[in-house]
Amino acid sequence: MMHGERARILSKDLDSPAFGYVANLIFGRLGLKEVVLKTSSAKQIELEIPDSGRTLRISPFLSGNKPEDLLKTGQLQLCMADTDEFVRGLLFEDKLPILTLKGSSCPTPLVDWSPDSASINFDLFGSAFYILTRAEEMTDTERDFHDRFPAKASHAFKNNYLHRPVVDEYVEILWACMKRLWPQLERKKTEFRMALSHDVDVPFAEAFSSPLRIGRSIAGDLLKRRSPGKAVKRIGSWLAVKRGDWRKDTNYTFDRIMDLSEKYGIRSAFYFKTACTNPKYDDGYSIDHPYLRQLMRDIHSRGHEIGFHASYETYLDPVQTKKEFRKLQKVCEEEGIEQETWGGRQHYLRWKAPTTWRNWAEAGLSYDSTLSYADHVGFRCGTCHEFSVFDLEQNKELPFIERPLIVMEGSLLGEHYMRLKPEIAFSKINQLKDICNIFHGIFTLLWHNSSLQSIKDWELYKTAVYCYHRFF
C-alpha cells in the first residue's frame, strides 16, 4: 500500500507539508527509504545518488507556487502535452496531462537526456499532487442533482483519459529515468488484487415490507419491468419471509456472494447503513434488527469484512458521520465482531474535497472507497493504488487512506448513467481490470447486493469476478 511506505526526504529547502506528502508517497511506492533531494539555482528539484556523479532534474513543484494557489481559479491548470519518444515508448500514449502555469505552453520534450543526467521537464510532483488532492473539484462549481462533481465536468473525461491511472504513469516515468541513470536500483514489488465490496442499501426487499408496498413492487414488475417471472418470485419470497425464512428474501444474495468470493480467494466487504437522514434516498432499515445482526455475524464468521455506509446527508456533516459510525461499532462490539481496520463508502457517492475525507478521519475510520464518478467508471484519482490523503484547505496530510473505486455496477448499467449492455459492460470491466493488473494495483469493484435479481445479473457478476482469477 502506498500509505504504508515512507521515504525519508533528505533536504532542507524542500521541507513543506505538501511536497513532503507527495514525495513520500511516490518514493514510498517505489520502496526507496532515503532519497537525497535539493533545489538548484534554477529552482529545479535535483535527485542524486551519493558518489554516482549523476543527477535527475525535475521541474519545480507547483511551478514555485504555494499549494493554496491551486484553489485560485486559473492560477495553475492541466494541459495535454505531446509525449516524446521516451515517454511514448514507456506508456504507449501520445498525450500526457501535466500541470502548468496558466498561459504557459506544454514543455517539449517531456524528458531530456545527457550522458550523466536527465531532466523531467514537467512538474511531475505537482501534477500528481493536483490530481490526488482533487483540487480540480474544489475550484469547479459544476454539480449534478445530488450535489456531486460529475465525470463529464472533469479534465480527464473531456480529454479522454479517465480510463488511465495517470498518477501511476508519472511514477513509471520517474522510475524509468532513475533506473536508466542508476541501473543498480531495485524497486519494491507490488501485486495486483481485487477489492470487492457491496453497499447494503436495501438488505431485504420483502422482509420489512407491508402488503401495500409489496403490491406496488409487484405492479412495477408487471407493468414497468414487464417481468411476470419476477412478480411470481417476489410473491413467493414475501410469503416465505412472512413464515420466518428471511433468507428467501429476493435481496438476500449474501451467501451466494460470499460463496463466489471464497471460491476465488477474495475477502468481500459489506458496507452497512446505520441511519436514515433522507427518507427519499435512504432505506430505513435498522442494524439493531435480529435479521441484520445475524447477517453481520454470518459475514464476520466467514472471514469477510463489515464496513460503514454513510447515509445520504452525511457527506458535509462531521457530527452525523461520527454518530453513524459509532452506531456500527457499538452493534459490532455487542455481536463480538472485531476488526483491525474500518472503512466504507458514502451513499450515492456523495463526496466533497476535502470535507468528507476530514469527516471520516475525525470519526476514526481507516479508509474510504467512495472515489469513482457515479456517471462514469474509471480512475477519478488517477491511481489504482491506495494512498494517504491530503487536506488542501488545512495544508496537512490526514491519518486516513483512500482506496479508489474503479467500477460501480450502477455506473455501467444504470439508466441515468452509462446504460451499457451487459456484454459491453463486461468488456469495460475487463479493460479497467487489465490496466490495474499492468500497474500492479487494486481493482476495486462495487456491486450492490440488491442488484443481483436476475440470471443475467448473476452471469455478469460471476464473469467479472472470474476474470480476476485468470491473473493467478
Res 225 pLDDT > 80: no
Read off the pLDDT of each residue in 269-274 and give the average, rounded to a whole number. Answer: 98
Helices (H) and strands (E) in the chain, counts: 15, 17
Instruction: Encode pLDDT of 287-316 as tens digits.
Output: 999 999 999 999 999 999 999 999 999 999
Higher local confidence (pLDDT), 234 or 170: 170
Task: Label residue 398 left, alpha or beta by phi (over 0 means left) and psi (-120 to 50 means alpha).
Answer: beta
d(CA 13, CA 167) in angstroms, rounded, equals 24
pTM given for the model: 0.94
Percent of the chain residues topping a pLDDT of 70: 96
pLDDT > 70? residue 422 = yes
pLDDT at residue 137 tops 50: yes
pLDDT-derived band of residue 1, with 50, 70 and 90 as boundaries?
very low
Task: Output the CA torsion sign for 71, 74, 80, 83.
Answer: negative
190-204 as b/e, with b when 16 or more CB fall inside 10 Å?
A: bebbbbbbbbbbbbb
Cβ atoms of residues 106 and 98 within 8 Å: yes
pLDDT of residue 51: 80
Q: How confident is the model at residue 15 (pLDDT cuts 50, 70, 90)?
A: confident
| Contact of 442 with 386, CB cutoff 8 Å | yes
> What values do phi and psi take at 10, rounded to 5?
-90, 85
Question: Could you tell me the pLDDT band of residue 79, with boundaries at 50, 70 and 90?
Answer: very high
Centre a 10 Å sphere on the Cβ of residue 306 and count the other Cβ atoms it contains.
24
User: Given this model, what pLDDT does residue 133 score?
Assistant: 98
407 bridge partner residues: 445
What pLDDT does 6 receive? 56
What is the per-residue pLDDT for 2? 40
The predicted-structure confidence for 331-355, as pLDDT tens digits, reads as follows: 999 999 999 999 999 999 999 999 9
In this prediction, residue 468 has a pLDDT band, given cuts at 50, 70 and 90, of: low
**Residue 77: pLDDT over 70:** yes
Please report which confidence band the pLDDT of residue 10 belongs to, taking 50, 70 and 90 as the band edges.
Answer: low
Q: Which of 402, 395, 330 is nearest to 366 (CA)?
A: 402
pLDDT for residue 7 is more than 70: no
Q: What is the rounded distance in angstroms from the CA atom of residue 434 to the CA atom of residue 192?
A: 10
CA–CA separation, 220 vs 166, rounded Å? 44
Distance from C-alpha of 442 to C-alpha of 256, rounded to nearest angstrom: 23
Spell out a b/e string for 321-339, using b for 16 or more CB atoms within 10 Å of the CB, else e: bbebbebbbebbeebebee
Query: What's the rounded Cα separation, in Å, for the pair 367 and 388?
Result: 9
Q: Give the pLDDT confidence score for residue 216 in this predicted structure.
A: 80
Give the pLDDT band of residue 124 (cuts 50, 70, 90).
very high
For 394, residues 6+ apart whose C-beta sits below 8 A from its C-beta are 354, 358
- Residue of 308, 42, 340 whose CA lies nearest to 199: 308
Q: Which residues pair with 307 in a beta bridge?
A: 271
Model confidence at 89: pLDDT above 50: yes
Kindly report the average pLDDT of the chain as a whole number: 92
Q: Residue 240: is its pLDDT beyond 90?
A: no
Q: What pLDDT sits at residue 3?
A: 45
What value does the mean pLDDT take over residues 315-329?
98
Residue 217 has pLDDT above 60, yes or no: yes
- HSE-CB of 332 using CA atoms within 13 angstroms: 24
Omega cis (within 30) before 354: yes
Nine cell digits for residue 4: 504504508
What's the pLDDT tens digit per position in 353-406? 999 999 999 999 999 999 999 999 999 999 999 999 999 999 999 999 999 999
Contact 275, 320 (CB under 8 A): yes
**Does residue 427 contact residue 464 with C-beta atoms inside 8 Å?**
no
At residue 4 the predicted structure's pLDDT band, cuts being 50, 70 and 90, is very low
How many beta carbons lie within 10 A of that of residue 376, not counting itself?
21
pLDDT at 471: 55
pLDDT of 8 above 80: no
